Chain A
Amino acid sequence: MSGSLEVWIASLLTLMVFSFLWRDNPLYKFAEHLFVGVSAAYFMVLAFWSTLWPNAVVKLVPAAVRVTQPGAEPGAFEPLAIVPVLLGLLMLCRLWPRLAWLSRWPTAFAIGTTAGYNLTRYLRTDFLNQISTTVQDGIVVQQAGRVAWGGTLDQILVLAGTVCGLVYFTYSRPHRGYYGGMARVGVAFMMVTFGASFGYAVMGRVAVLVSRLQELLGGWLGLL
């Protein structure tokens, strides 16, 4: 068994969270609320020192660089760095109901930035390039000058599955007749997709559980 105080603290906190599996209880609530407080402050601290300090404070007050690096030479003053700071302060106005309407300005900037970038990125990467990837390798796969029937069948299936999946997602036309048949094929591909996703999701969840059990059994109890 480990003699380290830190290992005991980590292990006891782990067991407190696992106690929820029996039922909700004060130990679990203690761990949960401790986590909420610690994580919120942790995010704020990291965000401040990693981004706000070097990209806003130091750019507006170059001499401030000596606070964290005593021998450093101050850089150039960048007046436009005040823009995001002002927008950020407007965002904090959300805390006061009378001034909350001011927070729409930075929200609008954030949404405009995201919408502007995403429109072109998604159109290029997830629309145009996904379509070109589906067709650019061709349908017939050749290896060493001969047709590879397995690869060719796979290409046909990928093309057919993609088209049928898109047909299924198009609800503006009733799924009847040939169109309905294609939609049903699309459903079949979706079911296999979701089954594969479920399998991988289980794998991911179990991996974390295995890791915690390894810490408890090995790091704490010394059984591994």
Chain B
Amino acid sequence: MRRRGADWGARLAGLDRRWIYLILAAGLILTLLTGLRLPERPSILVEPLYERVENLPPGSPILLSLDYTPSTAPELEPMAFAVVRHALLKGHRLCFVSLYPEGDNQIARVTEGVIAREFPAVRAGRDFAVLGYKAGNEMVINALAQRLDSMYAGDLEGRPLAELPALAGVHRLADFALVVAFSAGTPGLKEWILFAGDPLGLPLGGGCNGAGAPQFLPYFPHQLLGLMGGIKGAAEYEAALRLGHPEFHQRTMRATEGMGPQAVAHCIIIAFVLLGNLGLLLSRRRREDAT
């Protein structure tokens, strides 16, 4: 029995990693094909941000900074979709900027995927402004803190800032009622806290990718009023939106749909860790037997 256990220890230690890849992929594919969907509810990290958007006076200007790339869009795009839906539902004015070159295209996905489809009466320039990407990382934030027009002469279509009703009364960052930064690295939410939220006392909310979420907890709630961490945070905001506005029940499911496969993948990885440790235990016993 000990000898068989020892053999298994060696087998587990030498397992080809491609078996691990196959099992993970198979688990995810099966879960996707079965359409596993599990309920979500908002957490104390997401609720303050939802409440802020919900309770701002209608017509409040909100700045959204889409600082993510296609590699992290699966986590951050659902957040952006949900916040944009919520803000437009409440009649707020939106302004889109980005610190990443991919930002212009990421913003276009939001304006075409949400605004054009679900809010056909909302007009670019009048209800929302797309200022787009500027190079310079955190220095862009610093420049905007002084004056919007120090970096942006107009929106992406060339309309001057002064002619955009969506930006009426907004000349610098401090004039926005809320800033929400969706970020997946550097520059991102950290730079928004360092260069805008904290020095200017701006109400700042954030969404970030999973890997970056733990580092922003120290800023919550004094320097960051709400945080959507990874796809879980996106699903929680969607859940809050469904609870507060049931008419969005079907449309706010994108992140929630991903949580089923997510949960299965987490279980598979935990199982692999336990299996690896089982192999270690069996190998140790073999060494003890040998000595």
* A207 lies within 8 A of B29 (CB): no
Q: Look across to chain B and name the residue whose beta carbon is closest to the beta carbon of A158.
A: B218
Answer whether residue A143 sits at the interface, using C-beta atoms and an 8 A cutoff.
no
With a cutoff of 8 Å between Cβ atoms, the chain A residues found around residue B193 in the complex are: 125
**In the assembly, what is the distance between CA of A136 and CA of B223, in Å?**
13
Answer whether residue B32 sits at the interface, using C-beta atoms and an 8 A cutoff.
yes
Given contacts A46-B133, A213-B28, A217-B29, contact A122 B211 (CB under 8 A): no
Answer whether residue B120 sits at the interface, using C-beta atoms and an 8 A cutoff.
no
Given contacts A42-B101, A46-B101, contact A125 B28 (CB under 8 A): no
Answer whether residue B75 sits at the interface, using C-beta atoms and an 8 A cutoff.
yes
In the assembled complex, how far is the CB of residue B24 from the closest CB belonging to chain A, in whole angstroms?
A: 8
**In the assembly, what is the distance between CA of A46 and CA of B135, in Å?**
9
Q: Which of A183-224 contact B (CB under 8 A)?
A: 193, 196-197, 200-211, 213-214, 217, 223-224
Q: What secondary structure prevails in chain A residues at the interface with B?
A: helix
Q: Which of A152-203 contact B (CB under 8 A)?
A: 193, 196-197, 200-203
Answer whether residue A69 sits at the interface, using C-beta atoms and an 8 A cutoff.
yes
In the assembled complex, how far is the CB of residue A194 from the closest CB belonging to chain B, in whole angstroms?
A: 9
* B211 lies within 8 A of A201 (CB): yes
Given contacts A75-B153, A133-B222, A197-B211, contact A210 B258 (CB under 8 A): yes
In the assembled complex, how far is the CB of residue B250 from the closest CB belonging to chain A, in whole angstroms?
A: 16
* A125 lies within 8 A of B223 (CB): yes
* B135 lies within 8 A of A133 (CB): no
In the assembled complex, how far is the CB of residue B5 from the closest CB belonging to chain A, in whole angstroms?
A: 29
Further contacts, 16 of them, CB under 8 A, given A197-B214, A201-B210: A50-B104, A68-B158, A69-B158, A117-B195, A121-B199, A124-B199, A125-B193, A193-B214, A202-B265, A202-B266, A206-B262, A206-B265, A210-B74, A210-B262, A213-B28, A224-B35
